[in-house]
Amino acid sequence: MKIEYYHASRFGNGAEVAEEFRRQAGLLGATVEVHHIRDADPRNLPSADLYVFSSPGQWGKPIKRVRRFLGELDLPAGTKCAVLTTEIAPRPDKQTGVLPTEEEQAKWQKVRPIINELLENAGLTRVAEDRILVTEIRGPLEDGWEAKVRSFAEQVVTETVGVQTQ
């Protein structure tokens, strides 16, 4: 199984997640090539069984370079893809100390919905999506992020190949 992973990483968090994905998917028998989107032409991507797209969040949206890249994708309709983003961890309310609910977070955190809309407009078929939280703007990544990446890699390989992993 061949996977092409395209990410944007401003502070190295996305690159770290991409490398862990490469390692974990490799343990499952997949070959993963990781690319920063600045080094790729969205109209001329190599063929693969699956494409993974990743973006950090900036003001609740994927960064502009990623939105432009995904808007210019030229892949056959029905091509399988997955989304794995790096997003800032929600903060508790300063007065109550309560974390925002998923519904409240969805009002301001639209990284994955925007990416999914762009991929859908390109005719791609999403097989999985997840996010890795970043505790501060420049990192570090949330505790246990490696296990989340491992679980995501297992899901992606299972959904793409159609077999159970161990």
- The predicted structure's pLDDT at residue 26: 96
Prediction pTM value: 0.89
Q: Is residue 166 part of a domain?
A: no
**Is it the case that residue 165 has pLDDT exceeding 50?**
no
CATH of the domain at 78: 3.40.50.360
Q: Tell whether the model's pLDDT for residue 163 goes beyond 70.
A: no
Domain count, the chain: 1
- State the average pLDDT over residues 90-106: 74
* In a domain? residue 141: yes
Q: Judging by beta carbons within 10 Å of its beta carbon (0-12, 13-18, 19+), is residue 156 exposed, middle or buried?
A: buried
Domain housing 136: 2-161
- Dmax over CA atoms of the chain, in Å, equals 51
Q: How far apart are CA 155 and CA 166, in angstroms?
A: 11
109-128 core/surface letters (b: 16 or more CB in 10 A; e: else)? bbbbebbbebbeebebebbb
The pLDDT, as a whole number, for residue 102 is 76
Tokens, residue 95: 């007065």
Residue 51 within a domain = yes
- Give the Cα separation of 20 and 79 in Å (integer): 23
Give the percent of the chain with pLDDT over 70: 92
Say if 78 falls within a structural domain.
Answer: yes
φ/ψ of 133, rounded to 5, equals -85, 145
As a whole number of angstroms, the distance between CA 66 and CA 45 comes to: 15
| 101 within some domain | yes
The answer to whether residue 145 sits within a structural domain is yes
Indicate the pLDDT class of residue 146, thresholds 50, 70 and 90. Answer: very high
What is the pLDDT averaged over residues 53-77? Answer: 91
Q: Is residue 99 part of a domain?
A: yes
Residue 107: pLDDT above 70?
A: no
Look at the chain and count its residues. 166
Q: Is residue 80 part of a domain?
A: yes
Query: How do residues 12-64 score in pLDDT, each as one tens digit?
Result: 999 999 999 999 999 999 999 999 999 999 999 999 999 999 998 877 788 89
Q: Residue 11: is its pLDDT beyond 60?
A: yes
Percent pLDDT > 90 in the chain is 67
Beta strand spans in the chain (E) = 2-7, 31-36, 50-54, 57-58, 61-62, 80-88, 125-134
What count of Cα atoms within 13 Å lies in the side-chain half-sphere of residue 119? Answer: 25
